[in-house]
Amino acid sequence: MSLSDSLPQIAELIALMRENDVSRIDYEDEQVNVSVRFGGEVVMTQAVAPAGAAPTAVADTGGAPATEGAGNIVKSPMVGTFYRSPDPSAPPFASPGDRIEKGQVLCIIEAMKLMNEIESEVSGVIAEVLVDNGQAVQFGQPMFRIEAG
């Protein structure tokens, strides 16, 4: 199946996004990999998946930090396992006291065997890490507190 053959399914995904107020979705099958984001760029690529790969879909409903108390709270955009670094021997992406910039990776959430990098929506200083490495996180669970600075 080519990308043009997948357009009806892509249109259906976009309609579902609008109906459910989802801002980003990634879809992948054996031959097509599509990422759609409202309010940003739309990226469509065609790729061959490794043999035996199962179709996956990951929806991102924002994950943007919400202001709570003193600082911004970064909440989990999905259910999964929280990791502070790319591998056990590497330093954490962000630790208390670290200055971070908008778009900088804060952590990884593993969901359905996919590693999802979670980026900061704001610049500031990490005031607190609210989740332990390797801990299961729920959708909307606070993970970091970032203070302006």
* DSSP calls for 16-35: HHHHTT-SEEEEE-SSEEEE
Within 10 Å of residue 85's Cβ, how many Cβ atoms? 15
Least trusted range by pLDDT, from 6-10, 93-97, 109-113? 6-10
Whether residue 75 is found in the same domain as residue 138: yes
- Is residue 128 within 8 A of residue 96, CB to CB? The reply is yes
Whether residue 9 is found in the same domain as residue 70: no
Q: What CATH code is carried by the domain that includes residue 129?
A: 2.40.50.100
Instruction: Tell me which residue of 149, 27, 39, 135 sits closest to 96, measured CA to CA.
Output: 149
Whether residue 52 is found in the same domain as residue 70: no
- Is residue 110 within 8 A of residue 134, CB to CB? The reply is no
Confidence of residue 48 (pLDDT cuts 50, 70, 90): very low
Domain boundary among 43, 60, 77: 60
- Give the residue numbers spanning the domain of 140: 66-147
Highest mean pLDDT among 14-18, 46-50, 61-65, 90-94: 90-94
Whether residue 37 is found in the same domain as residue 74: no
Number of domains in the chain: 2
pLDDT in tens, 12-24: 777 777 777 777 7
Whether residue 71 is found in the same domain as residue 30: no
Whether residue 82 is found in the same domain as residue 135: yes
Domain boundary among 60, 80, 97: 60
pLDDT score for 14: 73
pLDDT score for 4: 62
pLDDT score for 49: 45
pLDDT score for 25: 74
Within 10 Å of residue 109's Cβ, how many Cβ atoms? 22
Whether residue 77 is found in the same domain as residue 141: yes
pLDDT score for 15: 72
Whether residue 78 is found in the same domain as residue 138: yes
To the nearest whole number, what is the mean pLDDT of the chain?
Answer: 77
pLDDT score for 71: 79
